Amino acid sequence: MLAFSVSLPVTRLAVAGGIAGSFVGIGRAAVAGVLALLTLAIMRQPLPSFRLMPRLAVVAVGVVLGFPLLTSLALTHVPASHGVVVAGLLPSATAVMAVFRAGEHPSLRFWIAVLAGVACVLTFVFVQGGGSFQWADALLLAAVVLCALGYAEGGALARELGGVQVMCIALIMALPVTVPITLIELDVVLLAHITPAAWAGFAYLCVVSNAGFFAWYRGLSLGGVARISQLQLAQPVLSLAWGWLLLGEVITGPTIAAALGVLTCVVMAQWLR
């Protein structure tokens, strides 16, 4: 969770420093995929059973391709603090995915709390957008849904394969998509004027953010997806702090109010669950 808390601020750092959002989202997965190949080779890990491949593909679509690409594109147009508030729904979204996957039947009050959190986010983005919804907000909400799906499926798979193998295989499965796109965009990126800070942010996303999944999926497998995912309740607060430290973003009153509202709804949803 600590590794993830820096991801949105450094994504904003990378795109604001001149790196195209599409390159940040796909390029980080390509670099991490190559590192994943080396990791499995060094660890001499066997390939998982073919029956698990569709489920691993879900993880790849959710956390390797979907979330990084959509958030990178969105943060080209909105500040990191804005993305942090929307991403605050991720614990609830992950719990909902775990509910469906486990066939649980939570109370009506649980769903009311989840919908209240969604209402807080939608109100925030509507106000921030000057009375209308921005395209970036649709990208962020879609990213939350895909990431929650990848978390839930990856956490379940980690019980069979381990966190390292789940994330490495997902990254490798995405290589036929990520490598060609990265190579196509590389010439344009290298010709652009990109700040050293942007490259540092990109390097963090390639290495630290993806390595964080090793510990994350291990934790989900040991403690349960719905319960452990609630550690992310602290992530928005940390991410806002990182945005202030790394980007100098001013945290406004509406942003704090929206973040606290989402946090309250998420806590209530988990308590009522």
- For every residue of 207-250, DSSP letters joined together read IIIHHHHHHHHHHHHHH-HHHHGGGGGGHHHHHHHHIIIII---
Contact status, residue 240 vs residue 5, Cβ threshold 8 Å: no
Average pLDDT over residues 189-198: 82
What's the pLDDT at 228? Answer: 66
Average pLDDT estimate for 73-102: 82
**Residue 178: Cβ-neighbour burial (10 angstroms; 0-12, 13-18, 19+):** buried
Averaged pLDDT of the chain: 83
Res. 250: pLDDT tops 90: no
Give the separation between CA 9 and CA 84, rounded to whole angstroms. 9
pTM for the model stands at: 0.83
Which pLDDT does position 226 carry in this prediction? 60
In angstroms, rounded to a whole number, what is the distance separating the alpha carbons of residues 220 and 43? 22
Instruction: State residue 231's pLDDT score.
Output: 67
pLDDT band at 171 (very low <50, low <70, confident <90, very high): very high
Residue position matching structure tokens 């490798």? 172
pLDDT at 200: 92
Q: Which is higher by pLDDT, 184 or 216?
A: 184
- The count of structural domains within the chain is 1
* pLDDT at residue number 4: 82
Instruction: With a cut of 80, say whether residue 216 has pLDDT above it.
Output: no
Per cent of the chain over pLDDT 70 is: 91
Owning domain of residue 197? 2-272
Q: Is residue 270 scored above 80 in pLDDT?
A: no
With a pLDDT cut of 90, the percent of the chain lying above it is 25
In this prediction, residue 181 carries a pLDDT of 92
pLDDT band, residue 201 (cuts 50/70/90): very high
Indicate whether 19 pLDDT > 70.
Answer: yes
